[in-house]
Amino acid sequence: MKRIALIILIAILFSACQTGKKKELEKNTITVSILPQKYFVEQIAGTQFPINVMLPPGSSPDDYEPTAKQVQELNNSLFYFYVGHLGFEKSWMKKFNEAVKDVNYISCSNGIDLLRGDEHDHQHGEEEVHKHGTDPHIWMSPENVKTISRTIANALSRQYPDKAAEFEANLRTFISRIDMLDNSIRTELNDTTHNSFMIFHPALGYYARDYHLEQYSIEYEGKSPSTAHMKKMVDLARERNITTIFIQTQFETAKAEAIANEIGAEIVVVDPLAEDWLAEMYSLTKKMKTALGD
């Protein structure tokens, strides 16, 4: 029902777009997919643009559906900086592209060395195929966030050439703060005892790659784990001396808790979708250092 209403709305917006040439001049909203991207845009442009965040706080990026108001906001947007491979983007970007045409759709995955991720795709017919998708969590890497911020700054500078110097200066300041963060992470994780960590939803693949860590995910191929996978994780946790299991509150926690009970591990909450990205990265690193044994 909700979906039908949205399709009708998209149709209305579509016809509105065709006649709304004048409206283009008033557009100044920037749409992003997740809260950390709002933070990135604000580092570069301050708060001069209204920002429409598609994924509301606390919801899961996989089963989310945009509200009518958000689609309206998208229609008022100059840009949509999307992440690139998030679950909900996969199902919605094509519809957005078709319904709201005069928006600059820019993928924040441009120029990033992408990791393969765990994904399970069912194909209709007799065959069931296992397909490896792309790990969407690009923003959990300081190095990647420099690239993302560059993408955003370039797009905004093209649109507002008179503000290009301001955006460029802000970008440089942000990049130097990211470099400080990166140095701090390297120092903090330099002399840890272990390098393996366990997490319910595998949001730290890029972080693990940057800092030479090994991520083990309880969630398996994007699904809640089977008993067999749970057992494998318990064995693996014992073998690798894992004493902490990271969880994110947007996802179910019961199975992570079951494994934690079984091996006597501590549950620690991290929040990759936090708006204050920089603070979250420092906080995550402190928790990681403790988990890996300092």
Choose between 40 and 174: whose C-beta lies nearer to Zn ion: 40
Q: Shortest Cβ distance from residue 38 to Zn ion (Å)?
A: 17
64/174 with CB nearer Zn ion:
64
> How many Å apart are CA 195 and CA 291, to the nearest integer?
9
Among 86, 81, 208, which residue's Cα sits nearest to residue 149?
81
Contact region for Zn ion (CB under 5 A) — 28-36, 139-147, 166-174, 195-203?
195-203
Asked if 65 and 2 touch (Cβ cutoff 8 Å), the reply is: yes
Considering only residues 209 through 268, tell me which ones interact with Zn ion, judged by CB under 5 A. Answer: none
Stretch of 41-49, 158-166, 187-195, 203-211 lying at the interface with Zn ion (CB under 5 A): 203-211
Task: Single out the residue of 218, 200, 219, 197 nearest to residue 208, CA to CA.
Answer: 197
C-alpha span between 217 and 200 (Å, rounded): 5
Q: Whole-angstrom Cα distance, residue 85 to residue 278?
A: 22
The interface mask with Zn ion, positions 154-193, x = CB under 5 A, is ----------------------------------------
Cα 71 from Cα 53, distance rounded (Å)? 11
Nearer to Zn ion, 108 or 203 (CB): 203
Subset of residues 19 to 38 that bind Zn ion, contact rule: CB under 5 A:
none
Segment contacting Zn ion (CB under 5 A): 200-208, 213-221, 250-258, 274-282? 200-208
Size of the site for Zn ion (CB under 5 A): 1
Q: Which stretch binds Zn ion (CB under 5 A): 163-171, 177-185, 199-207, 213-221?
A: 199-207
Taking the C-alpha atoms of 235, 239, 240 and 246 in order, what is their torsion angle to the nearest 10 degrees?
20
- In whole angstroms, the minimum distance from the beta carbon of 257 to Zn ion comes to 19
Listed in sequence order, the residues at least 6 apart from 241 whose beta carbon sits closer than 8 Å to its beta carbon are 193, 194, 196, 293
Applying CB under 5 A, which residues contact Zn ion? 203
